[in-house]
């Protein structure tokens, strides 16, 4: 596995604002990307990473809000959302910044796993926030687009 360079707003705002393309074929290259993204996310001490954040414009996301429980999502889309939460949010692509966002309390996402099989996952609280955050990246959005106020020091 390799540690990939995380694109930040300082060096890659154009990249971060692009819409990622669907994965049409799951190849060994996609498997390597998933593995490298997971390792990169862990080293950076994040809880999620979208492929665009490592310069790959494909609809691929990894999330780990509980140690050892990695969700790999290919071509994910949110199919249901309920409730509301307002919590602090940050981003590996905006180091040192954070803000309060308004997100659904619970979301259900439909995605493919590394074997191309479709599955659904329902998550609440931090997992729901991470899913929304990472899927926003795939559409060229940053959490700062939905921040309702800055975190007070």
With DSSP H G I counted as helix, E B as strand and the rest as coil, what are the percentages for the chain, rounded to 5?
A: 30, 35, 35
Angstrom distances, CA of residue 23 to CA of 51, 60, 125, 132: 11, 8, 28, 19
The reply to whether 45 belongs to the active site is no
In the set 64, 72, 89, 134, the catalytic residue is 134
Q: Are 79 and 109 in contact (CB under 8 A)?
A: yes
Classify burial at 126, counting beta carbons within 10 Å of its beta carbon; exposed 0-12, middle 13-18, buried 19 or more. middle
Catalytic machinery residues:
134
């Amino acid at each position: 596995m390799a540690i990939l360079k995380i694109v930040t707003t300082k060096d890659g705002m154009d990249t971060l604002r692009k819409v990622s393309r669907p994965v049409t074929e799951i190849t060994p290259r996609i498997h390597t990307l998933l593995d490298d993204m997971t390792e990169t996310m862990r080293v950076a001490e994040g809880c999620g990473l979208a492929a665009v954040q490592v310069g790959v414009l494909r609809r691929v996301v990894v999330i780990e809000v509980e140690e050892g429980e990695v969700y790999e999502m290919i071509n994910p889309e949110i199919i249901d959302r309920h409730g509301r939460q307002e919590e602090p949010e940050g981003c590996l692509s905006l180091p040192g910044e954070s803000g309060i966002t308004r997100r659904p309390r619970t979301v259900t996402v439909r995605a493919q796993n590394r074997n191309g099989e479709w599955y659904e996952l329902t998550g609440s609280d931090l997992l729901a926030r991470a899913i929304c955050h990472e899927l926003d990246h795939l559409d060229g959005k940053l959490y700062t687009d939905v921040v309702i106020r800055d975190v007070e020091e």
